[in-house]
Amino acid sequence: MAGIYSVSQVNSYIKNMFAQDFALSRISVRGEVSNCKYHTSGHIYFTLKDKTGTLAAVMFAGQRRGLSFQLQEGQQVVVTGTVDVYERDGKYQLYARKIEQDGQGDLFLRFQKLRDQLEEMGMFAPEYKQPIPRYARTVGVVTASTGAAIRDIMNITARRNPYVQLILYPALVQGAGAAASIVRGIQTLDEMGLDVLIVGRGGGSIEDLWAFNEEIVARAIFRCSTPVISAVGHETDVTIADYVADLRAPTPSAAAELAVFDFGQFEAQLRGAKELLARGLKRKIDGVRYQTEQYRLKLRLHDPQRQINEKRQRLVSAEDELKRLMERRLSDCRHRLALMSGRLHGQSPLEKLSRGFGFITDEEGRRVDHAASVRPGDRLSIRLADGQIEARAEQTELYEKLEVQEES
């Protein structure tokens, strides 16, 4: 019975065989780059292929000085290195030490030709890009019903906004018939009048993603009346669909972030806007109230009734002042009148008559002041305080005039 070996022993034996083969220790391989991945560690993982086969390859970060350009899908390259076995997995691969360009692969040339053709037709022009609605409520998704892409979109949608409705068209995303399936999905969801579409799939090689480089898919996206977000592969993967879509997302997860608005953030914005509006409204109301109070005070100052009351008060004050002045004037007049009355009383003929004097008039009623003006026989009227006497002059006697000398 032949010996029984462990898996590790077999892998180790094969690895030693590869190590002893001089041809595999330094070999140059020509092929087209596919499924190229730049790892965060700096390593580059890719596949070399031709029409009939593929070969896994890796260039470690320490060997990247042997790479003078950006390695991309579809490039035709010559890789120099060592073919060896990865003992843990039992797989052989090419460990690259140097990579040189050797023209471009057929798929990449087809990609460039279609891209240039569609660009010349204006299908990538910014004026044809539709804006993505900010608050979409219905989101259509054209992708495979199984796979990481739809799961990522569903998870992010549920987290950001559970009220958004997702409508999936389960399309083939690679292989025969994939392009036609994607076109039918776009047309079907476009007829439903949704807010936005996500068209894409998860990562893969250029062959896996080729359906999104087909002209019929590009034209379906261009004719779609619903805004389209392309989400094909990873950030480094670029397809024709990305150029013609209204917006490109680097991954399906990013597409969900762009299509579905964050309801929690939306609520916070609404609350903030409400508070801002309330503060602004309060300031406005306070300002109007202040202006109203100022107008009320001004009206109060210019109130006709108030002015009438003020005029009435002034009139009452004027009346009181006039009365006071009139009483004072009357009092002064009374006093002066009393003084003048006293003086007149002292000069009154009646007063003199009451003291024994008489008032003598001749027959014609003229006052008799001097004895010389009376002749014997003249009739005289003598008026006394209590009556009047009619008399006749018997004789007149004149007295010597008395002169009063003032004492010096």
Q: What is the pLDDT of residue 363?
A: 83
CB 199 within 8 A of CB 231: yes
- Extract long-range pairs of 266-270: CB within 8 Å, 24+ residues apart: 266/135, 266/161
Residue 305, pLDDT > 90, answer no
Which one, of 234, 185, 235, 240, lies nearest residue 211 by Cα?
240
Q: What pLDDT, on a 0 to 100 scale, did the predictor assign at position 145?
A: 92
Q: Are 387 and 395 in contact (CB under 8 A)?
A: no
Q: Rounded mean pLDDT of 256-264?
A: 92
E strand or H helix at 16, and its extent? Answer: helix 7-20
Look at residue 281 and give its three-state secondary structure: helix
- Which residues have C-beta within 8 Å of that of residue 349, sequence separation ≥ 6? 359
The answer to whether 75 and 33 have CB atoms below 8 angstroms apart is yes
Q: Which two tokens stand for residue 37?
A: 């991945």
- As a whole number of angstroms, the distance between CA 85 and CA 16 comes to 9
Q: Across residues 309-313, what is the average pLDDT? A: 82
- Asked whether residue 22 carries a pLDDT value surpassing 90, the answer given is no
Average pLDDT over residues 291-302: 81
230-259 pLDDT, tens per residue?
999 888 788 999 999 999 999 999 999 999
Choice between 105 and 170, residue whose per-residue pLDDT is larger? 170
Per-residue confidence (pLDDT) for residue 20, from 0 to 100 = 79
pLDDT of amino acid 408: 40
- pTM confidence score: 0.53
Mean pLDDT, to the nearest integer, of 146-150? 90
Percent of the chain with pLDDT over 90: 44
pLDDT of residue 343: 79
Which residues, 6 or more positions from 140, have their beta carbon under 8 angstroms from its beta carbon? 166, 167, 168, 169, 189, 192, 194, 196, 197, 198, 226
